[in-house]
Amino acid sequence: MEEKERKELRRNDLVASLILLGVAGGMFAQSIRMTFFVELPGVRRVGWFVAPGVFPLLLTSGLIAMAISILITALRESGGLKGEYLKSVLTFLRSSDFRILFMEAGLLLLYVFAFLRNLPFVVATALYLFLAMAVVKAARWYVMVIIAVVIAWAVGYLFGTLFRVPLP
């Protein structure tokens, strides 16, 4: 790999590690707010081990350690964030790829906070899938409708009926 490409990848690692560190730090703070001791019959001495806050705390601790490891490597090998890299980031933020990414993230929020609260699961999921495919122009509209309806119905039937998992 060429040295310039390697530095570019490390700069991307630097940005990604900072984002991961921020997200993991927020998750770590939330996991600390969870319960860390549960009294269960026959499990008195290890009640902390089965408490709901332990597993998220362990996961986020691992994420933080990995983010710091990536950050250190990226800082050593990237040469820092220079003006040309910041220009390429700004170019990406103006690109159609970023608009698609932004629209897909917005659709996901719309699905979780609006569709699922106001529509039946299968209808909300089919609508979300159709719109997500439409954003990237995945196929002709009627093919997207068929795919969205079949997948939403199959997931609803599989989890709601066969596995008896309560769906939103």
Check whether residue 18 and residue 71 sit in a common domain.
yes
Check whether residue 42 and residue 87 sit in a common domain.
yes
Check whether residue 56 and residue 132 sit in a common domain.
no
Check whether residue 43 and residue 114 sit in a common domain.
no
Q: How does pLDDT run across 2-60, given as a tens digit for each residue?
A: 887 887 788 788 888 999 999 999 999 998 887 666 666 665 555 566 677 788 889 99
In a domain, 141, yes or no: yes
Please say which residue of 77, 93, 109 terminates a domain: 93
Check whether residue 68 and residue 100 sit in a common domain.
no
Q: How far apart are CA 92 and CA 101, in angstroms?
A: 11
**How many domains does the structure of the chain reveal?**
2
In a domain, 168, yes or no: no
Check whether residue 78 and residue 113 sit in a common domain.
no
pLDDT band, very low/low/confident/very high, at 78 (cuts 50, 70, 90): confident
Check whether residue 47 and residue 72 sit in a common domain.
yes
What pLDDT is recorded for position 46? 58
Q: How far apart are CA 104 and CA 133, in angstroms?
A: 9
3-state secondary structure the chain: CCHHHHHHHHHHHHHHHHHHHHHHHHHHHHHHCCCCCCCCCCCCCCCCCCCCCHHHHHHHHHHHHHHHHHHHHHHHHHCCCCHHHHHHHHHHHCCHHHHHHHHHHHHHHHHHHHHHHHCCHHHHHHHHHHHHHHHCCCCCHHHHHHHHHHHHHHHHHHHHHHCCCCCC
Q: How far apart are CA 121 and CA 133, in angstroms?
A: 18
**pLDDT of 160 over the 70 cut:** yes
pTM for this prediction? 0.62
In a domain, 146, yes or no: yes
In a domain, 15, yes or no: yes
Please say which residue of 54, 73, 93 terminates a domain: 93
At 60, the amino acid letter reads T
Please say which residue of 93, 118, 151 terminates a domain: 93
In a domain, 113, yes or no: yes
In a domain, 83, yes or no: yes
Check whether residue 125 and residue 100 sit in a common domain.
yes
- In the structure encoding, which two tokens stand for residue 126, read together? 């089919």
| Cβ–Cβ < 8 Å for 74, 85 | no
Check whether residue 63 and residue 121 sit in a common domain.
no
What pLDDT is recorded for position 54? 81
Q: How does pLDDT run across 90-110, given as a tens digit for each residue?
A: 887 888 988 999 999 999 999
Check whether residue 87 and residue 55 sit in a common domain.
yes
Which residue range(s) make up the domain with 152?
96-162
| Cβ–Cβ < 8 Å for 55, 38 | no
